[in-house]
Structure 1
């Protein structure tokens, strides 16, 4: 060989073999995981309108964020951002961190979750139980900056808020939208009138909105948002600099600012839900399904009832599909603790009564003070 010729390296060095092994483990995990259940509910007041709730809490790591965490690791590996021996970090209010810690343990790598100090204690313990480390930040608005500090010291920043909408394959590959429509195929009204989801990173709403257009469906997408939070403020004005008018107690959604992954143009409607109504709806889900779910699931339920009420007023029939995002056990010390609610002067009775009337009569009326 000419001594001046460039060196030719073997096509599969140690680093590449490690990446291949990590990708194999993620593929094996996917093959072991069954699809999540699609639960159907019908209510006396809504004749001709079917309600479906996709139970994402049954994923191995316990939430909708299992799909996102897998996609973020795949994105990091296939883009050369995550290397053998490298630590991983991300900013999260809890459920994403738990899922990312679960996959970090699977891959044998270290993981740090930068979390607001006010995160539900059970979520913090769950990350730690999976071998992750929690870096708690007093100001929730500083989690991004703290995660960037870890990245500057060499950690791979999975960056759920910056990368969620591009890391997920919105054309298919068993994403959340494709899974919903496949499960709906044999139902009486298989093409939903509405799909309802929240907006944390914006990845779920972006994936669903894009997929509905890709499939040329008339299904509309509604984002259920805690009142006055980032997505709603930005969506109403298409202002990407918008910030929340008020904080929320609903973890996982209701961001204080417009996140990079928020795609306004694929969302047809936004319904803002007060925290008390979201929490009351989470309690109501326990009555309806015999199992507790988190506050974001309650937010989704309130939005579904309002959409169904408007459909009934217009004489429409159809189906509405939404998500049950994570298990209520993670909120036993917060949303499902009467003392915690009382300390924050949250009275669930008016919202609970309003929803019971709505289920019986098919008409949404704001809670009575």
Structure 2
């Protein structure tokens, strides 16, 4: 009697030869991309504290999400979910979709981004430049359901970054962002940072870094900064993953619900950052370093500077690391546009004064 069974599938499995070539192309892209830079943020040397900015904006698609998109494609290819001609669909507020559109084009696959209607026109243009199509909806709470509907309709694959981000990346190493940070810090005055500060969109980056520092037995702590309108902060504080919120104005981070890729137990502390503080810090970065970045970088920087001020107050020495998530050119008509900021009812001035005082004295006086 034969021990081999017969299974009827909704669609035939992908051709293994095509999958092998697709994986080779994605890995070759990684080999062609040098690691991202680790910049020093200027602080007075007498403080004995170093702040580093991991510049993820230099990836081929210009953001931190390039790492995630690469991992998601490799995970889906190895799992048998993507084959030749498969339409790839993602729910994204912008940067993940830009990066996934890049990899879809690399593999000759159609790509559709389901995204909120208010996504910046610069990001929409970038997705379309990479060959993707944008499917805009008014209510951001419905993007997952709409993505699944489209995938079912065309027989495609919903990538679902918010579910698979924390498992698609190898948190033990393999040149993930955490391993890269520690290798680049190895010759610095304080090679084991006191804090690594990141925002949460999917939660995949904080999960990767939090697991890695525990796996390598480092004393580094992870601080997740969360913008207005996001559910992560309240969900973490109340230990309630069912928390919901209206959603964030800071593209790329903050979610109306606590996503399944957010691993709360590897987060040491969280900090709520007002949107006006995020934009003030984003502009402060440009004024101090000449580097224009997006709003999520401003959220990161606000949290990192607050921790530096706390260390200085307590007489601590050491290093802090945070991320430049993407470049500021994507937000010329939003976060860098004073008229747009005014229409949002945001007053940056009180937070700009906090940053100016910090730069002059090291003191942190929250409005």
TM-score category, normalised to shorter length:
over 0.9
Q: CA deviation at 1:312?
A: 1.3
Q: 1:290-320 CA distances to partner (integer Å, 9 max, x unpaired)?
A: 1210000000111011111111121100000
Residue 132 (structure 2) pairs with residue 132 (structure 1): yes
2: CA distance, partners of 1:63 / 1:176: 13
Q: Which residue of 1 aligns with 2:268?
A: 268
Q: Whole-Å Cα distance in 2 between the matches of residues 270 and 339 of structure 1? A: 31
CA distance in structure 1 between the partners assigned to 2:167 and 2:323 by the alignment: 21
Equivalent residue for 2:312? 312
Residues 42, 49 of structure 1: 8 Å contact kept: no
Q: How does 1:330-349 map to 2 (within 5 A)?
A: 330-349=330-349
Q: Distance in 1 between matches of 2:87 and 2:350?
A: 48
- List structure 1 runs of 4+ shifted beyond 3 angstroms: 4-7
Q: Which residue of 1 aligns with 2:303?
A: 303
Distance in 2 of aligned mates of 1:334 and 1:295: 10
Q: Deviations over 1:197-229 (max 9, x none)?
A: 000000000000000000000000000111352
Q: Which residue of 2 aligns with 1:282?
A: 282
In 2, distance between residues paired with 1:70 and 1:304? 27
Decide which moves more: 71-80 or 308-317: 308-317
Per the TM alignment, residue 345 of structure 1 is displaced from its structure 2 partner at its CA by 2.1
1:100 and 2:100 correspond: yes
Residue 226 of structure 1 corresponds to which residue in structure 2?
Answer: 227
Higher mean alpha-carbon deviation, 60-69 vs 348-357, is at: 348-357
**Count of aligned residue pairs for this structure pair:** 359
- Cα drift, residue 42 of structure 1: 3.0
Query: Structure 1: 5+ residue runs without aligned partners?
Result: 8-12
Shift of 1:46: 7.0
Cα RMSD (Å): 1.7
Structure-2 change in CA distance of 1:255 and 1:46 (3 Å):
farther
What's 2:352 paired with?
Answer: 352
SS of alignment partner, residue 240 of structure 1: coil
1:64 corresponds to 2:64: yes
CA shift, 1:59, in A, is 0.1
Deviation, structure 1 residue 6: 7.0
- Which shows bigger deviation, 335-344 or 52-61? 335-344
Does 135-144 or 152-161 show the bigger shift?
A: 152-161
In the other structure, the counterpart of 2:211 is 210
Q: TM-score, normalised by structure 1?
A: 0.94
Question: Which residue pairs with 1:329 in the alignment?
Answer: 329
**Secondary structure of residue in 1 paired with 2:47:** coil
For residues 190 and 117 of structure 2, what CA distance do their matches in structure 1 show?
44
Quote how far apart the aligned CAs of 1:151 are: 1.9
**What pairs up with 1:30-49 in 2 under 5 angstroms?**
30-44=30-44, 47-49=47-49
Residue 9 of structure 2 corresponds to which residue in structure 1?
A: none
Partner of 1:270, secondary structure, is strand
The structural deviation recorded for 1:5 is 10
CA distance in 1, matches of 2:69, 2:335: 25
